[in-house]
Amino acid sequence: MSALLELVKETPPEDRKAVAEYLKPYLITEKKKPVDEHWVNIEELRPYTPGKKSKAWIQLYILDAYPETRKWSTNPHPGKGRSIKVNLPVARKWIEEHIDVIDWDKPMP
């Protein structure tokens, strides 16, 4: 790589411009659009569920039942002294998209 760099340094300015244009796609990486992130506990997600389900209901019938929720939530069983966090904007969108799939009338065992 350093030999190539030395060759480019020794070339005339007009040739350097051509080399730069040729290498541009390989040197510039796409910037990912930042995903809205606002991590909150389950209590703050409750108002966005139909019927304002309990924290235990959300944990059991949403976070445990659907593995794809791991993309926007932490471990549904974090252990003693740790809370479950969810990315609120992504979680709200996911719930809206799956509102017909989830049985919102399912009772707690």
Residue burial 22-32, b: 16+ Cβ < 10 Å; e: rest: eeeeeeeeeee
What one-letter code names the amino acid at 40?
V
For residue 5, pLDDT over 90 is answered with no
Coil, strand or helix at 72: coil
State the average pLDDT for the chain.
87
For residue 19, pLDDT over 70 is answered with yes
67-92, pLDDT tens digit by residue? 999 999 988 888 888 999 999 999 99
Residue 62 near residue 55 (C-beta atoms within 8 A): no
Residue 86 near residue 73 (C-beta atoms within 8 A): yes
Task: Enumerate the domain spans of the chain.
Answer: 1-31, 39-97
What one-letter code names the amino acid at 4?
L
The more confident residue out of 91 and 22 is: 91
User: Which two three-digit tokens encode residue 57?
Assistant: 């209901």
Q: Please state, in angstroms and rounded to a whole number, the distance separating the CA atoms of residues 94 and 86.
A: 11
